[in-house]
Structure 1
Amino acid sequence: MAKWALRNSYVRIFGPLCIAAFVSAGDTEPRWSALNKTAREAVQAKDYGKLRTTLIELRPLSPGNPRVAYNLAASEAMLGHREAALAALRNWSGMGLVYDVAGDDDFASVREPPEFRGILERVAESRRAVSGSAPAFAIAEADILPEDIAYDAKSRRFFVSSVRQGRIVTGDGKLFARAEWSVLALRADAKRRTLWATTGWVPHCALCKAADKDRTSLLAFDLDTGALRQRVESPVPGLLGDMTLGRGGDVYVSEGIHGAVLRLKAGAKEFERLDAEGEFPSPQTPALSADERILYVPDYVRGIAAIHLRDRKVEWLVPADDIALSGIDGLYVYGGGFLAVQNGTSPARIVRFTGDLKGMRVLETNTPGLGEPTHGVIVGNEFYFIANSGWGGYDGEGKKKAGSAAVVSSVRKIRLDR
């Protein structure tokens, strides 16, 4: 989804000992949220002992969160726990992320050991380009803020959504359908000849009215003609941003501003909610397991959760200590593991995880044409994804930044092995 709020408040502020604050929408604040606040207060008070204790408790509630890993290493260093600080920092550097660790005074006490130089070398490696993609096609018009892409095997057409213009275009640039608000997620149901699309108010939308803020819905278009077949209003305010489809026609949608995971059963006219309020601060693209018994939900903050659809039990997946799971925008199940578009990390990247989340391979990062990728679609053994979407050219109010050039986005593809 368009994470304009998070892009400006959480992910890009990757400073030393800087914890983001989130407020629960429910009466009872979830433990992870309360701990986030406590950690922020400990940072402000420079109470590193309290910060360390809080982060240790927070870590399993946000598994794979690089901010927690980094700040835990910093708190250990500030407390004089050299070995613990270096071990935690090694885990963070193994995530493949970048930051000016050498210039961070929180680690002044651990700069001398050779292990610290090894960590800096690992960070330097993470700045290098990894190029595994090739151009597929250019998006004809600049500055449309493309968000998602879908594919119809019967007509052999790609479809691209536009946040800026509130429309859907085909891969060759032709108009397919319009909406009154921004268009975000797309999924093609070839069997039922339906193109599903989420739509809602976003400040970046050129045509949206301010009075429509927090209004959002799911649209069903005829996949052959573009005619609107169905409109389903969201039962929660915010922005229906991402989705996936089940083989039986069920539609799973996430609302990423306030946090909700919804299901529209095949033939239904209303959504049902699958999660408890406060569980997900910012859920993104859900993905079904091969047997469709589990819905994997990447949360931009907390990591990846598995919702067991039989009883709706939520289980947060625990990765290896050197695997980062926050900042995932698009998630896809493939080849016994996961494929992810991770644009909330620095650097942004396309990455594959093993099914047990103990292994990771970066497929694309730090390349000139990547920019900020958003979502993709698997066609056969190739992954087509939107590159250089252009979100960085806009401020938090949805206005083009002064001096920002027009952005030409593209679709790139990566050949996947099993």
Structure 2
Amino acid sequence: MSRLPMTAVLAALQLAALPVQAQDVSPAMRFRQLRAEAVAAANADDLATAADKLAQADGVVRNHPGLIQLRARVAAASEQPGEALAQWRRYAGLGLTANPARDPLYAAMTALPEWPAVADALTANRALIGVLEPRALIPEAVAAESVVRDATRQRLLVSAIVGRTIMQIGADGTAAPYLKAEAPVAGVFGLAVDEARGVLWAASAGLAAATPADDPLRDKAELLKIDLASGRLLARYRAPDAPRRNFGDVAVGPDGTVYVSDSLAGDVWRLGVEDEALRRLVPVGVFGSPQGMAVSADGETLILADYGSGLHRIALADGRVTPMPSPRDASLIGIDTLLRRGDDLIVVQNGTAPMRVLRLTLSPDQTEVVAARTLAANLESMTDPAGGSLDGASLLFVSISQLGAYGDDGALRDGPPPPAVISRLNLD
């Protein structure tokens, strides 16, 4: 059987051999290093080495959907259809969707008698799960990113990346300006309410899609402190400059300490109640792209989702990072929003197919995930989900954000996007 060129094999996954420094020893960085070495070997048509590196990477970060697909492609290109099928069976068992039968690389695999059962499982994973209640529509092209509820004033507060502001939406669905700043801010991402102190915290960053190249806020990141009642900007806390920064998610601990993650630079910061400047909690080189965070029940740990390596625990006493074990049948890659509800984590997973909302049950000591359940998936009103917050027994979140409609240059790809949608999902 003839093999397809490995350039064609790899093109379907759009993987690049990213340079990784030798001193990077965290699981996330080790995974990226092994994957990069595998891609380099595959590009050199050394499929045996590629398969070995991918297997090693698989042992570092469990159930990475893209890595499973790459293992299947290398196996198929190596004329091992049985191994390719094993990888796709595993992929289907994670509740994920794809259609490898359309790819001629898998002709030998799809001819195996075991293939129809795997194909049926992949099809079953496309079933509609959950029911969303639409709460608000935003017709303007703003790239909504996160939403919180100001219960005292019966309004929703929605952050806008391209709009570079925060909007308020009243009970009648009418949108109005909220953020009052004396100087422009960059795109606004994650939001977190500290009701006890009357403060709204917001992560802000000069993402290329929303910030012109000559704008002084381009590639800068700030944590914004906002008076919850009035929307007046009280303070701005900027991290030291880096080639590219993107404060994307923010969380507040019970003591009022604020945590903010940088999805591009890769570090994590905190701001204590009495602090006048951000302090680094986790340095660059530990995470690939840190996203949502939540403080553990005992207040001693920050649980964080790294987009490419899953969940981790950060000891607040010293910043030590420990990966969180998870069930063998769960893929926790591509998590954006992470919220703690008692002994559960409610997460929005927008880096997988399908995009999903999951409930993750934690062990009593909250050191590992012991079960995962899909609460919403494959819904027409959840095609581009982003951030949100807990509102009693519900998840309030941006189910269609519009950000995917923008290119890296800030221009809309195919004309005006559909309205951004804020939805509510019952968690009980």
Same fold (TM over 0.5): yes
1:209 CA drift (Å): 4.3
Distance 1:90 1:408 in 2: 37
Q: Deviations over 1:319-349 (max 9, x none)?
A: 3343222211111122422211111112222
1:375 and 2:387 are equivalent in the alignment: yes
1:224 counterpart residue number:
229
Aligned amino acid, residue 148 of structure 1: S
SS at match of 1:169: strand
1:409 and 2:420 are equivalent in the alignment: yes
Distance 1:287 1:159 in 2: 20
1:208 CA drift (Å): 7.9
1:19 counterpart residue number:
15
Give 1:343's match in structure 2, choosing from 342, 346, 350. 350
1:396 and 2:401 are equivalent in the alignment: no
Q: Please say if residues 18 and 71 of structure 1, whose CA atoms lie closer than 8 Å, have aligned partners that are also in contact.
A: no
1:170 counterpart residue number:
168
- Identify if the C-alpha distance between structure 1 residues 393 and 305 changes in structure 2 by more than 3 Å, giving closer, same or farther: same
Q: Deviations over 1:76-134 (max 9, x none)?
A: 44445555443332211122222221123443333233432111111112223223211
- Identify if the C-alpha distance between structure 1 residues 17 and 217 changes in structure 2 by more than 3 Å, giving closer, same or farther: closer
Distance 1:276 1:189 in 2: 26
1:253 counterpart residue number:
260
Q: Please say if residues 17 and 74 of structure 1, whose CA atoms lie closer than 8 Å, have aligned partners that are also in contact.
A: no
Distance 2:86 2:277 in 1: 50
TM-score, reference length from structure 1: 0.89
1:113 counterpart residue number:
112
SS at match of 1:310: coil
Aligned amino acid, residue 115 of structure 2: F
Distance 1:51 1:320 in 2: 26
Gap runs ≥5 in structure 2:
1-8, 363-367
Distance 1:149 1:360 in 2: 24
Distance 2:152 2:217 in 1: 36
SS at match of 1:143: coil
Gap runs ≥5 in structure 1:
1-12
SS at match of 1:52: helix
1:195 and 2:195 are equivalent in the alignment: no
1:273 CA drift (Å): 1.5
Comparing 370-379 with 198-207, which one deviates more in the overlay?
198-207
Give 1:142's match in structure 2, choosing from 126, 140, 143. 140
1:42 and 2:53 are equivalent in the alignment: no
SS at match of 2:282: coil
SS at match of 1:154: helix
Q: Please say if residues 64 and 333 of structure 2, whose CA atoms lie closer than 8 Å, have aligned partners that are also in contact.
A: yes
1:158 counterpart residue number:
156
1:239 and 2:235 are equivalent in the alignment: no
Aligned amino acid, residue 407 of structure 1: P
Q: Please say if residues 310 and 332 of structure 2, whose CA atoms lie closer than 8 Å, have aligned partners that are also in contact.
A: yes
1:75 CA drift (Å): 3.1
SS at match of 1:274: strand
1:270 counterpart residue number:
277
1:93 and 2:92 are equivalent in the alignment: yes
SS at match of 1:354: strand
Count how many residue pairs are aligned between Structure 1 and Structure 2: 402
- Identify if the C-alpha distance between structure 1 residues 125 and 277 changes in structure 2 by more than 3 Å, giving closer, same or farther: same
